[in-house]
């Protein structure tokens, strides 16, 4: 199946709810304050958040003022809405920048338990391997023995080097060894897995900061990418999660997973608008083909087709 088909199928739950409700609000009516109020309810109910929804309504109001004659045509108004969503999402388009100076690109992957860190790492590693790049995986989630085993299976499957220590070991040391290995053996990319849960949130954030410090000391520069994996099924909570992680480790990108498992896919809009952190990948399923770079236009087309 082609990516656009996968994306459409993945976003189906969000699409069905959003498209149906928007269509029923717009049908046979002109764009006035009463309609905007109903639309507000729909958008907030679809996890777009209050701020983003109000911004969308403002922009619609402006379009209606400028192009009054058109404001009675539901198709035209839907077209405006699509364009506005694309305008909000486009600045958030990001992509993984691999280094071109012969140094390994180091990617630290963060996120709460179950958000999809390890499988996203596996998917990214698989794509990189298909492009002929060498990959080192660091089993930095030492909190659970099963997490190390899970990454080990993926490393074998995609043909990546795994660097691991014992369960309970210091994750900073694992990450250090992985980067050290990559530097000594001319490896292209290092992906560092981390724990998403420790005894307390404070411990977790301190541990993540320490991993960053230790790795950067060995590298002699900043870690290239600090990616946060967000599970779309948590809806608005994703924003609070992102803020907490961003304070501990300044993020360079987001991965939004499990868009296929939820009708809350609208949350991508407030994530793009409020966080101002590039969305590098979105995930719409469990296979490697289900994780791709985020593109605003195709996302909106799939969402409101």
3-state SS record for the chain: CCHHHHHHHHCHHHHHHHHHHHHHHHCCCCCCHHHHHHHHHHHHHCCCCHHHHHHHHHHHHHHHHHCHHHCCCHHHHHHHHHHHHHHHHHHHECCCCCCCCCCCEEEEEECCCCCCHHHHHHHHHHHHHHCCCCEEEECCCCCCHHHHHHHHHHHHHHCCEEECCCCCCCHHHHHHHHHHHHHHCCCCEEEECCCCCCCCHHHHHHHHHHHHHHHHHHHCCCCCEEEEEEEHHHCCHHHHHHHHHHHHCCCCEEEEECHHHCCCHHHHHHHHHHHCCCEEEEECCCCHHHEEECCHHHHHHHHHC
Using CB under 6 A, which of 6, 8, 15, 117 touches ligand GDP? Answer: 117
* Min separation Cβ 142 and Mg ion, Å: 11
Q: Which does 285 bind (CB under 5 to 8 A by kind): Mg ion, ligand GDP, none?
A: ligand GDP
Cα angle for residues 70, 79, 86 (degrees, 5° grid):
135
Q: Which stretch binds Mg ion (CB under 5 A): 68-76, 114-122, 229-237, 296-304?
A: 114-122
Instruction: Please provide residue 105's backbone torsions phi and psi, each rounded to the nearest 5 degrees.
Output: -85, 125
Using CB under 6 A, which of 55, 125, 260, 303 touches ligand GDP? Answer: 260
**Which residues, at least 6 apart from 180, have a Cβ–Cβ distance to it below 8 Å?**
218
Binding mask 230-259 for ligand GDP (x = CB under 6 A): ---------------------------xx-
Q: Which stretch binds Mg ion (CB under 5 A): 22-30, 44-52, 103-111, 116-124?
A: 116-124
Q: Does 118 bind Mg ion (CB under 5 A)?
A: yes
Q: Does 301 bind ligand GDP (CB under 6 A)?
A: no
Contact 7, 299 (CB under 8 A): yes
Q: Between residues 119 and 252, which has the closer beta carbon with respect to ligand GDP? A: 119
Q: Does 116 bind ligand GDP (CB under 6 A)?
A: yes
d(CA 232, CA 255): 10
* Min separation Cβ 18 and ligand GDP, Å: 19
Using CB under 6 A, which of 285, 294, 296, 300 touches ligand GDP? Answer: 285
Binding mask 22-51 for ligand GDP (x = CB under 6 A): ------------------------------
Q: List binders of ligand GDP among 52-111 (CB under 6 A).
A: 111
Number of residues that bind ligand GDP (CB under 6 A): 19
Q: Between residues 60 and 232, which has the closer beta carbon with respect to ligand GDP? A: 232
Using CB under 6 A, which of 14, 52, 105, 115 touches ligand GDP? Answer: 115
* Min separation Cβ 167 and Mg ion, Å: 13
Q: Which does 283 bind (CB under 5 to 8 A by kind): ligand GDP, Mg ion, none?
A: ligand GDP
Q: Which residues bind Mg ion (CB under 5 A)?
A: 117-118, 147
Q: Which residues bind ligand GDP (CB under 6 A)?
A: 111, 113-119, 196, 229, 257-258, 260-261, 283-286, 290
């Amino acid at each position: 199946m082609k990516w656009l088909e996968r994306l459409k199928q993945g976003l189906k739950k969000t699409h069905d709810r959003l498209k149906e409700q928007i269509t029923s609000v717009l049908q046979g009516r002109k764009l006035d304050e009463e309609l905007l109020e109903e639309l507000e309810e729909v958008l907030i109910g679809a996890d777009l958040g209050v701020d983003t929804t109000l911004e969308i309504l403002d922009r619609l109001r402006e379009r209606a003022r400028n192009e009054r004659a058109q404001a009675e045509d539901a198709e035209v108004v839907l077209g405006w809405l699509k364009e506005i969503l694309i305008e909000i999402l486009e600045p958030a388009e990001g992509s993984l920048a691999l280094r071109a100076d012969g140094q390994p690109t180091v990617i630290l992957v963060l996120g709460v338990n179950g958000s999809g860190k390890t499988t996203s790492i596996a998917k990214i590693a698989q794509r990189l391997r298909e492009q002929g790049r060498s990959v080192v995986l660091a089993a930095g989630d030492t909190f659970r023995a099963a997490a190390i085993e899970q990454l080990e299976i993926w490393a074998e499957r995609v043909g990546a080097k795994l660097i691991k220590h014992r369960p309970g070991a210091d994750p900073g040391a694992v990450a250090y060894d992985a980067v050290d290995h990559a530097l000594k053996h001319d490896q292209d990319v290092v992906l560092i897995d981390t724990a998403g849960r420790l005894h307390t949130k404070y411990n977790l954030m301190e541990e993540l900061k320490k991993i960053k410090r230790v790795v950067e000391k060995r590298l002699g520069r900043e870690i290239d990418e600090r990616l946060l994996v967000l599970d779309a099924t948590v809806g608005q909570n994703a924003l609070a999660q992102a803020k907490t992680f961003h304070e501990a480790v300044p993020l360079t990108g987001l991965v939004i997973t499990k868009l296929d498992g939820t009708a809350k896919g609208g949350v991508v809009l407030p994530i793009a608008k409020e966080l101002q952190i590039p969305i590098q990948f979105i995930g719409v399923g469990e296979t490697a083909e289900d994780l791709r770079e985020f593109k605003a236009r195709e996302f909106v087309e799939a969402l409101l087709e």
